């Protein structure tokens, strides 16, 4: 894991009131400045942790603030940071960049029973700009989730089982894709990030657990045991 996000100084905060000789920088200028600073550092940046205001903002839409080579370099860096964490998704605000951009990829080997119960299929890498989703149907399922910006904790989140995602790809093409199962969960989690929403906002708080307790008690394919013993979602089928 990179250095703790608390080591970031105000000078590296893209949401601070940085100024130059011409006056206050616009948000687009702050985004460009922050991205260039991160890329020029030559190391993977720390993942911003809960409590940083950038995680609670609705991020700026991508409108061409970054040229194609810079955007491509940023996406590559985000993918490498996601792999190192490790994780299956990473949004730009998690690197301190208030931009509606996220990368997703899930190609981890998973126990077949867990994969079957959770509907977890491999998700090939893709980057999404300006994402939004809508539920497909009424079915919802709850499973434990964690977050790279909320170290050490997990909680159960009830989410739509299937969603339709609309986004712009890095080449500027608007696309619509449908996802179900665990892929849909990743899509929702990462899209929430660019809207200033953390998974804890949607979680069943009685399910909250440390990673250690999760591994010791609740790491079954589904949440039935945790639901019964911790007393959450009593009406779930």
Query: Mind telling me the catalytic residues?
Result: 190
- Residue 86 to residues 9, 79, 83, 164, Cα–Cα distance (Å): 25, 10, 5, 26
- Find all residues with CB under 8 Å of 150, minimum gap 6, and list them: 49, 50, 198, 199, 200
d(CA 80, CA 82): 5
């Amino acid at each position: 894991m990179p250095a703790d996000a608390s080591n970031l100084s105000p000078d590296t905060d893209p949401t601070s009131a940085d100024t130059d000789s011409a006056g206050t920088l616009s948000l687009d200028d702050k985004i460009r400045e922050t991205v260039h600073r991160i890329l020029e550092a030559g190391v993977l940046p720390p993942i911003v942790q809960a409590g940083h205001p950038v995680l609670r903002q609705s991020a700026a839409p991508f409108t061409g603030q970054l040229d194609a080579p810079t955007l491509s370099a940023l996406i590559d860096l985000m993918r490498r940071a996601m792999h190192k964490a490790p994780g299956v998704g990473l949004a730009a605000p998690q690197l301190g960049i208030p931009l509606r951009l996220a990368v997703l990829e899930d190609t981890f080997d998973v126990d077949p029973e867990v994969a079957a119960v959770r509907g977890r299929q491999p998700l090939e890498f893709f980057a999404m700009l300006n994402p939004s989703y809508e539920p497909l149907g009424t079915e919802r399922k709850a499973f434990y989730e964690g977050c790279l910006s909320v170290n050490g904790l997990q909680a159960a989140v009830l989410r739509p089982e299937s969603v339709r995602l609309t986004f712009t790809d890095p080449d500027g093409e608007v696309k619509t894709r449908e996802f179900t199962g665990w892929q849909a969960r990743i899509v929702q989690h990462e899209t929430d990030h660019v809207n200033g929403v953390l998974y804890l906002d949607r979680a069943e708080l009685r399910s909250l657990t440390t990673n250690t307790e999760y591994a010791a008690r609740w790491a079954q394919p589904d949440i039935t045991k945790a639901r019964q013993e911790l007393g959450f979602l009593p009406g779930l089928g």
